[in-house]
Amino acid sequence: MPELPEVETIRRALEKRVLGRRIAGISISREDYVRAGLSDISSLTGQVIQSVERRGKILAMHLSGEWALIHHLGMTGRILCVTSKEEAPFHTHVRISLDGGGMELRQWDPRRFGYIAVLRECGLVEFAPWTSLGADPFDVAAGEFLELLSGRSQPIKTFLLDQRRIAGLGNIYADESLFRARVHPARPARSLRPVEAQKLRREMRRVLREAIAAGGSTTNDYQKLDGTLGEFQHKHRVYRKAGRPCRNCGAVIQRMILGGRSTHFCPECQPLRP
């Protein structure tokens, strides 16, 4: 699933490619892929893309005329910027034509866990997937992060995946952040001492910055806006490394299931404390 670095990579690319461009038309191949505002899609024709915002793993294109176009990529979705002449592959559910140059944006999603939504700007504050998100990892202050952990008995890995607490992390970057912070993924969130919590916050932000600089991680379906692959998967230290030696200590990296999610860690670098 595209996580914060992948979605932020797409956001930055969109800013370079489509800001100031006018929407010439939108084609939807599956109406059930539109989570809200199906009847308003035609109203976006002629609107200008003014800014692109990311919140957690969700993108919002803010348009003229007080419209917002929401994109969520789900588990396997992509947003690609291509020429209109290119044949659209199967599972291309959204095509957004832009004026001048024969360019269009396409949202491709074989499993259809993603969606788009068309909203008035004033309705964005009532769109639950947007408003229910927690703090962005780059915005959460040290004291706020410690407060979020306080009283939480759930495993710290499960806490990091809870989009209502910290928005944008998924399996990849939760595992990598916990490894760098030397925190066992099964430890209760509330058990982290202040110094450990701040180290986790610091390493989480560092991992995300490095991943954004590398264009994200391509482990399954993710591609950047131009169709090229991310590079951060080559820098993963524990994610999907079960059975291999830890690059820090040589111990065998292990895999466990927490909250129904596959979790990777080093038992020596991330000891489970009582």
Active-site residues: which are they? 2-3, 57, 261
Helical pair 142-149 and 194-213, crossing angle rounded to 10 deg? 110
Helical pair 4-18 and 194-213, crossing angle rounded to 10 deg? 40
Angstrom distance (rounded) from CA 74 to CA 259: 19
- How is the beta sheet containing 67-72 ordered, strand by strand? 34-36, 115-120, 67-72, 58-63, 49-55
Read off φ and ψ for residue 84, nearest 5 degrees: -65, -20
- How is the beta sheet containing 78-83 ordered, strand by strand? 23-28, 92-98, 103-108, 78-83
The pairing of beta strand 67-72 with beta strand 58-63: antiparallel
User: Which one-letter DSSP state was computed for residue 262?
Assistant: E
The pairing of beta strand 115-120 with beta strand 34-36: parallel
Which residues lie below 8 Å from residue 197, measured CB to CB, with a gap of 6+? 145, 146, 149
Q: Are 146 and 92 in contact, with CB atoms under 8 Å apart?
A: no
